[in-house]
Amino acid sequence: MKVLLVLGTSAGGVGRHVQGLARLLAGAGHLVMVAAPAAVAETFALGEHATVSPVEVTDRPHPRRDARAIRDLVPLVAGADVVHAHGLRAGAVAVLAAARSRTPVVTTLHNAAPTGLLTGAVYAGLERVVARGSRVVLGVSADLVQRMEALGAAHTALAVVPAPPRRLPSGDRYTVHGELGLDARTCLGVVLARLAPQKGLDLLLDAHRDLRDLDLVTVVAGDGPLRARLQARIDAERLPVRLLGVRDDVPDLLAAADVVVSSAVWEGQPVGLQEALHAGAAIVATDVGGTHAVVGDAAILVPGGDPVSLSRGIRDVVTHGGVRDDLRSKAVERAGELPSEADALAAAETAYALARTGS
């Protein structure tokens, strides 16, 4: 089968997901093509398992650039058996490019649409285009699926987003503490997050104002546009939080963590929390989007946007060994229930078959 994967600007999870899907599809014998901005294709090495065509689908609507992207996609769509677009913007562009073709479009929504008076109206229009023009719409969380159903999508399903293959740690807790310059008795909190608004890192900092009495340091592995602002606040308030930037030792950090925290405003199927479950970590997370569907009862879940509840959850894990050990045990059990890469491949192929036959 000739599969055309379409995605727009991405600096994180969507790009990694498409990278993994391209590898899985190619490994299963499909001919994979990718249409993406050149910088995205390079960042995620999409050419390793697919033929890449540069198509500039940007992260914000722009009539002239969108028209050019649609034009560039038309011949690629015509040469595919199925188009699989990732993200609302990419989905709308793919649907419009396929309007005069018989090639079916599958769209996976990875994020909730932005809100606001003008922005919300624009993206609501894109949602209608995707819902009515895609043969199948997949959502990474139940609320996205329900939204598409309400807008009249013909076929919907929950997307399958597996964590990357597990990497074993190369160092122990004491090694990690030493590299971070921490006393062995200091508790370590770990956050895996891009420094972007969706990840709610201001909430994390709010929570740490109530945790000053603990011997706790939290490190954030990831980078993003909010780094300077977050660092300025950390410095001004003297918070025990460190921004480490992008790290290649995430397995070591997770293995050394006393608590893994997610303060996200919204999540789909958070890969970072899946990695934490596989590492047997004790997790405290905001109960937003698809987070509960991923962690089940293997985490302390607190309301989104509530720093007091978040700080209490962190405190419970850090100060009570029994709570921490129970969460770690549940994490290992839950990890065995998470979808595998084989599940993700099967789900994609099922969606493609449904899109092509309608049944």
Give the pairing type, strands 300-302 and 283-286.
parallel
- Predicted local confidence at residue 164, as pLDDT: 77
User: What residue ranges define each of the domains in the chain, with the CATH number in brackets?
Assistant: 2-162+340-357 (3.40.50.2000), 173-335 (3.40.50.2000)
Opening angle at CA 98, ends 97 and 103, nearest 5: 150
Q: What is the DSSP letter of 48?
A: G
Q: Which of 314, 313, 268, 276 is nearest to 293 (CA)?
A: 268
Residue 301: both structure tokens together: 């879940």
Cα–Cα nearest to 6, from 142, 103, 102, 100 = 103
Amino acid 289: pLDDT: 92
Model pLDDT for residues 96-149, shown as the tens digit of each residue = 999 989 999 999 999 887 766 566 688 889 999 999 999 999 999 999 999 999
What is the per-residue DSSP string for 12-30?
Answer: SHHHHHHHHHHHHHHHTT-
Kindly tell me if the per-residue pLDDT of 254 is higher than 70.
yes
Residue 61 confidence class, pLDDT cut points 50, 70, 90: confident
Please give the structure tokens belonging to residue 116: 């606001």
Distance CA(156)–CA(140), nearest Å, equals: 11
Q: For residue 164, which amino acid is it?
A: P
pLDDT, greater one: 62 or 210: 210
**pTM for the full predicted model:** 0.90
pLDDT digits (tens, 9 = 90+) for 66-108: 999 999 999 999 999 999 999 999 999 999 999 989 999 999 9
Does residue 358 surpass a pLDDT of 90?
Answer: no
